[in-house]
Homo-oligomer: A and B are copies of this chain.
Amino acid sequence: MAEVKNKQVVLKDYATGFPKESDMDIVEGTISLNLPEGSNEVLLKNLYLSCDPYMQMLMSKIEGLEGFGTYSPGSPLTGYGVAKVLESGHPDYKKGDLVWGFTKWEEHSLVPSSQILFKIEHTDVPLSYYIGILGIPGMTAYAGFFEVGLPKKGDRVFVSAASGAVDLLKNKLGFDDAFNYKEEPDLNAALKRYFPEGIDIYFENVGGKTLDAVLLNMRVHGRIVVCGMVSQYNLAQPDGVTNLANLIFKRIRIQGFGVADYYQLYPKFLEYVVPKIKEGKIVYVEDIVEGLEKAPPALIGLFSGRNVGKQVIVLARE
């Protein structure tokens, strides 16, 4: 069997506070490029890896979340990637197929047959889009907004996120308005200024003090779609949210969701979003770094606002 070197990014130890580059190690293992006789696994060459804020939570030890895909010290990080099939014992995939799905932070990955890989059919858009707007992040926004948020015409929508420059959001990405929370000493006052009539849908990516201020500004029958709480993952003691009594009289729904519950909508999602990308109605920005060695600083950079647009790690382009 042909053994080749296989570089990996592994978790050194659980992160506490903000993760640091030193919480990860680059190690060099080996992997066989041939599947054993009778295997139904799939051998992937990883091309693009995604850096996502939720990975910070998986690097930490948070009570109650054991068994929800949290990383183990000594093992490679996992996440979503675009890959090429090198060998396949699985009837649905053959050598040369381009796929995206759950993989590991390493050059080559052996994927068990039980794991979902999405075959890439549209190749007239950049392949890296399948870890971004055409992959989990795009699908998450779609399912969260439409399926969980249940928008009605005229709804006032607030999205919190580590989004970079306000000018980018307003001038390039088409938001009606945007503000930088670091320039707002009183978040409640800021929300009252931007949403004088209150908020119908809050797409929650931040948590903590932002959620607390939003609760004061929700409208009756408002919906809070909880996608993430990035401000909280790095805290040994998360912020206490104090305004939950607003849920009662305003009859607010807070709904945590995971995109995996909505995978069956993926074809419908592609039908909706691919034309919008081609027509320029949805603008998408990427921040690309080259090489697995750049993966740990790229991941850390998410939390200091270093990246502009979706953080992509390129291992190989084909």
A residues with CB within 8 A of B: 54, 57, 62-65, 68-69, 207, 211, 215-217, 226-229, 232-233, 237-258, 261
Indicate which residue in B54, B64, B242, B251 contacts A243 across the interface (CB closer than 8 Å): B64
State the CA gap A318–B41 with chains docked (Å).
Answer: 79
A233: nearest chain-B partner, CB-CB:
B245
Q: List 25 A-B contacts (CB under 8 A).
A: A57-B245, A57-B248, A62-B245, A63-B216, A64-B217, A64-B243, A64-B246, A65-B249, A68-B250, A211-B244, A229-B248, A232-B244, A232-B245, A233-B245, A238-B244, A239-B242, A241-B241, A241-B244, A247-B254, A247-B255, A248-B256, A249-B256, A252-B255, A253-B254, A254-B254
Given A64-B243, A251-B257, output 15 extra A-B contacts at Cβ < 8 Å.
A64-B215, A68-B250, A69-B249, A226-B244, A227-B248, A233-B245, A238-B242, A238-B244, A241-B241, A241-B242, A247-B255, A251-B255, A252-B255, A253-B256, A254-B255
Q: Is the CB–CB distance between B216 and A244 below 8 Å?
A: no
Chain B residues lying within 8 Å of A62, measured Cβ to Cβ, are 245
Q: Which residues of B contact A242 (CB under 8 A)?
A: 237-241
Q: Complex formed: what's the CA distance from A239 to B254 in Å?
A: 19
In the bound assembly, the distance between CA atoms of A10 and B214 in angstroms comes to 33
Compute how far the CA of A239 lies from the CA of B242 in the bound complex, rounded to whole angstroms: 6
Contact of B253 with A255 in the complex, beta carbons under 8 Å = yes
Query: Contacts A240-B239, A250-B256, A251-B257 hold; do A229 and B245 have CB atoms under 8 A apart?
Result: yes
Cβ of A238: which chain B residues have Cβ within 8 Å of it? 242-245
List, in ascending order, chain B residues with CB within 8 A of A211's CB: 244
- Collect the chain B residues with CB atoms within 8 Å of residue A261's CB: 251
- Report chain B residues within 8 Å CB of A253: 253-256
When distances are taken between beta carbons in the complex, the residues of chain B under 8 Å from A252 are 255-256
CB distance from A270 to the nearest CB of B (A): 23
What is the minimal beta-carbon distance from A212 to any residue of chain B, in angstroms? 9
Is there contact, CB below 8 Å, between A249 and B258?
yes
Instruction: Determine the distance from Cα of A233 to Cα of B243 in the docked complex, in whole angstroms.
Output: 11
Quick one: which of A226, A233, A248 has the most chain B CB within 10 A? Answer: A248
CA distance A14 to B252 in the complex (A): 25
Residues of B within 8 A of A68 (CB): 249-250
